[in-house]
Amino acid sequence: MTLLLWFIFWMAGQQAAGPFRCSEVEAVARGESSQSQGPYCGSIEGVVVRAGSNVGIPNAIVTLKLTNSGPDAEGLKTFADSNGRFSFPPINPSSLPEGYNISAVADGYVPADYGQLAPYAPGETITIQRGQRRVLNFKLNPYPTASGTVCTSAGQPNCAAATSVTFRNEFLVGGSLSYQADAWGLGVKYIPNRDLDSGFDWSIISSLDLRPIDKLSFNFQWVLDRYSTSSGPAFAGQNGNIWWVTARYQLTRPLAIGAGVKWVTNPSPADVNTTSTRNDPTVLVNLDYRTVLF
């Protein structure tokens, strides 16, 4: 029983060490190392510094993994000292030709793989020959940081005027008139402060519906908006216009197709000199399918 337990613990130790750690004693026992052959195990050491300087990064974590082992594979880790220097236990060179990938991470810095040419670029595969000593240096770039002034009130240096939010109640009265016949219809609406943001003093929406046959209908709309003083001096008192022209054809009882054009002319700052407006044409195509679920 004692011998069996010893064997289980020995196997667990071998799996924990994985393909990385190396023992000269075991290498001699296997006949892979002798006084004439020299050391069998390799070594990896180096330093982790801040990019652009020689200042070491303390407590950086350096990880050794087999090449192409995947991001979730276990590796051999070591910590840098207060000067950013690190070293691994003796490394087994028997992983050739796969080789190793080595990465370094630290709080506040972009992670880096050894040999990469730019942040987040792929790194370089390194190999360890028997008895070889590798010295590797990492240069980590700090994460970008935002800078500026925290404004708690108006009047501070580099701060714009303070923004305030005001709640208010408004009582708005509008109205509409409409007339419908079998083949056509008319309508007009008067709406104060249409978007409820005080951008418009009032709006008038006019519409004309035509139904020449049962399955075909046309709709014409004209929206006239009067800009308020709250919209700024370049727009106050000017008019904006929106025109709609749409057609709709009922293919079957639940299915219909439609198309139309929307044209918007709004004042632009150039209107102060009466030189231009901003025009926004839009082509509309739609497909309607209506059904009853219950």
More confident residue, 292 or 260: 260
pLDDT in tens, 143-159: 887 666 666 655 566 66
90 secondary structure, DSSP code: P
| Contact of 217 with 210, CB cutoff 8 Å | yes
Is the pLDDT at 34 greater than 70? The verdict is: no
- 18-140: CATH class: mainly beta
If you write DSSP's letter for every residue of 15-71 in order, what string do you get?
HHHTTTB--HHHHHHTTS-BTTTB---BEEEEEEEETTS--B-TT-EEEEEETT--T
pTM over 0.95: no
Q: Is 13 helix (H, G, I), strand (E, B) or coil?
A: helix
> What are the structural domain ranges in the chain?
18-140, 175-289
Average pLDDT for the chain: 79
- Over range 56-77, report the average pLDDT: 85
252: number of Cβ within 10 Å: 8
pLDDT in tens, 155-187: 566 665 555 666 777 778 888 999 988 889 999
